[in-house]
Amino acid sequence: MNETGFPPKEKSFQKPQPEDQSASVAPWYKDGLRFTCQRCGRCCSGPSGLVEASYGEARAMAQELGMEWEEFLEQAALEYEGSFFMKEVRCRHGFDCILLDRFKKDGHEITGCMARNSRPIQCRTWPFWPEVITSPQTWKLFRKRCPGIGVGELHPLEEIEAKAAQTHDPTAAPPRMLLRGHRLRMFSGSVQD
Ligand code: SF4
Ligand code: SF4
């Protein structure tokens, strides 16, 4: 007790200080990650999935394809609440994105995107999506669907983080996607150990 009759203030009553952010741990991929697309087409095909494009991306794709806007909407994309979703075509693998081009090279089938320069952000940022780079285990797991993961070009930390920040977070997917039972292409279907 002091002369006021109240117990002296002790350190334990002080407001806790926020942790020092500068001491945060570097991500496991701080030295970069290897990825080079093998053009197998698996991320653009398989079970039905959604490839979402913004209005700006859809316009750019129409332009790259040399299509009038109405023609693009009729043949390549569906509009829903201001977003655009690429149409699909049935194939022996399940469903191909309408823009997936399959052709032979040196006796092997390879694939490409017909609108490569303007493809939607979810396609441009693959495979540096938050759910893919969560841990070395998830990175390895997704390699089962994408043979480009873990091989070839070394992508630096800055690029990985920039792409992860841009891409669509499936946990924040609009309810319409969940209600329709679709998941974004690239991780539609099962990815299991
Ligand atoms: S699954 Fe991977 S390797 Fe195959 S086309 Fe897609 S990004 Fe390229
Ligand atoms: S828009 Fe192009 S890259 Fe994206 S899923 Fe379709 S074919 Fe693949």
- Domain ranges for the chain, please list them: 30-171
Q: pLDDT of the chain along its 193 residues, tens only?
A: 444 444 444 444 455 455 555 557 899 999 999 999 999 999 999 888 888 899 999 999 999 999 999 999 999 999 988 889 999 999 998 899 999 999 888 888 899 999 999 999 889 999 999 889 999 999 999 999 899 999 999 999 999 999 999 875 555 444 333 333 444 566 554 444 3
Instruction: For ligand 2, say whether the CB of 185 is within 6 Å of any of its atoms.
Output: yes
Q: How far apart are CA 64 and CA 66, in angstroms?
A: 5
Q: How many CB atoms lie within 10 A of CB 60?
A: 17
**Do 171 and 44 form a contact (C-beta atoms < 8 A)?**
no
The phi and psi torsions of 172 (rounded to 5 degrees) equal -105, 20
Residue 85: name the closest of 76, 94, 95 by CA.
Answer: 76
Q: What's this model's pTM, rounded to 2 decimal places?
A: 0.79
Ligand nearest to the CA of 42: 1
Closest CA to ligand 1's atom 4: 40
Give the residue whose CA is nearest to atom 6 of ligand 1: 43
